[in-house]
Copies of this chain bind each other. A is one copy, B any other.
Amino acid sequence: MRPSKRDELVQKAEKIFYRDGFHATGMDRLVAETGISKTTMFKHFHSKDELILATLRRKDETFRNRMHKHLAEAGGEPREQLLAVFDVLTDWFAQADFCGCMFIKAASEYPVHDDPIAVQAREHKRLVLLDLQQLARAAGAGDAAGLARQLMLLIEGAIVAKHMGYSEAPDADAKAAAEVLIMAA
């Protein structure tokens, strides 16, 4: 199996879905923008929804991998790592193609609770929250799960605030708030 074409499709589709939305992006436009024929697309994925699922899986992988690498570079102190999460945000927000969280968008566009796309989006958030919880536990927080949930609120809030553009540097605000919450925990 040489999956290069398939991977190329998933990678390009991910960017387009992320930028333009899921329902607003038709298969014909994917053909035009990726240069990959529609026949090939439907040979690799039996439906648009399956392709979307693949892009979400890829996004989850690359996102969490990047986060883990960034945290590893932040040094061994667990408390430093907890704060470094917000530097990941700063990095992300500085990217030219930033336009919010793909999983929040997916959950918005696929409101049916059992829809595989909605399930996949939730799963990503669950995994990120789990990562935070492990960090909080390592940092010796009394209520690690609670602290993780609170920091998660700040992260989600910063993503939304940045996306909607009503706040200049929500990552800095979030980090400042996080410092207070970590101290209090």
- 18 pairs of residues in contact across A and B, judged by CB atoms under 8 Å: A100-B107, A104-B104, A105-B108, A109-B109, A113-B165, A125-B161, A125-B166, A146-B176, A149-B173, A150-B173, A150-B176, A150-B177, A152-B157, A153-B154, A154-B177, A156-B161, A180-B181, A180-B184
User: Do the beta carbons of B129 and A111 come within 8 Å of each other?
Assistant: no
| A68, CB-defined interface residue at 8 Å | no
CA distance A173 to B100 in the complex (A): 23
Residues in B neighbouring A180, C-beta threshold 8 A: 180-181, 184
User: Do the beta carbons of A153 and B173 come within 8 Å of each other?
Assistant: yes
Within the complex, the shortest CB–CB distance from A88 to chain B, in Å, comes to 16
Within the complex, the shortest CB–CB distance from A105 to chain B, in Å, comes to 4
Chain A residues within 8 Å of B, Cβ to Cβ: 19-21, 23-24, 99-100, 103-105, 107-109, 111, 113, 121-122, 125-126, 129, 146, 149-150, 152-158, 160-161, 163-167, 170, 173-174, 176-177, 180-181, 184
CA distance A100 to B111 in the complex (A): 9
User: Do the beta carbons of A164 and B107 come within 8 Å of each other?
Assistant: yes
User: Do the beta carbons of B21 and A24 come within 8 Å of each other?
Assistant: no
Residues in B neighbouring A19, C-beta threshold 8 A: 111
User: Do the beta carbons of B154 and A122 come within 8 Å of each other?
Assistant: no
Which of B111, B129, B181 contacts A166 (CB under 8 A)? B129
Nearest B residue to A158, CB-CB: B153
Residues in B neighbouring A23, C-beta threshold 8 A: 21, 23-24, 109
Which of B99, B152, B184 contacts A167 (CB under 8 A)? B152
CA distance A20 to B112 in the complex (A): 9
User: Do the beta carbons of B153 and A121 come within 8 Å of each other?
Assistant: no
Residues in B neighbouring A149, C-beta threshold 8 A: 161, 167, 170, 173
